[in-house]
Amino acid sequence: MTDSRKKKTGQQVTIGITGMTCASCVGSVEKALKKVKGVSDARINLAAEKAAVDFNPAFATREDLEKAISDAGYTPMKEGPAPTPGKVTLGITGMRSPSA
């Protein structure tokens, strides 16, 4: 019996993205990533501000993916150290004064 599901080949990387605010932003980033040679799939999570990208490393690198995100007008997050278990860092926007 042949498995008709598409088999994933290559690698998957998750890239943080800042600057997305709506579904249109998600569509723009997804479209830009899918145009990169070697990308087989790109899934964007607006709430988590992340892209999960399946790609063939023989044709594309993380830098190529980050460039596509930048060219679409958004900011890819560079790889950083693994988060410390039990520690949470939150970014807060919209505060207008020290007492807010």
Domains present along the chain, CATH in parentheses: 11-76 (3.30.70.100)
Is a pLDDT exceeding 70 seen at residue 14?
yes
pTM of the model: 0.70
What three-state secondary structure class fits 93?
coil
The better pLDDT of the pair 54, 99 is held by: 54
For the cut 90, the answer to whether the pLDDT of residue 35 exceeds it is: yes
Q: Which of 9-13, 21-25, 43-47, 70-74 has the lowest mean pLDDT?
A: 9-13
Coarse DSSP helix, strand, coil percentages of the chain, rounded to the nearest 5 percent: 20, 25, 55
What SS3 class is residue 45? strand
Per-residue pLDDT at 10: 81
Compute how many other C-beta atoms are within 10 angstroms of the C-beta atom of residue 14.
13
Sequence-ordered list of residues with C-beta below 8 angstroms from that of 95, at least 6 positions apart, any chain: none
pLDDT for 98 beyond 80: no
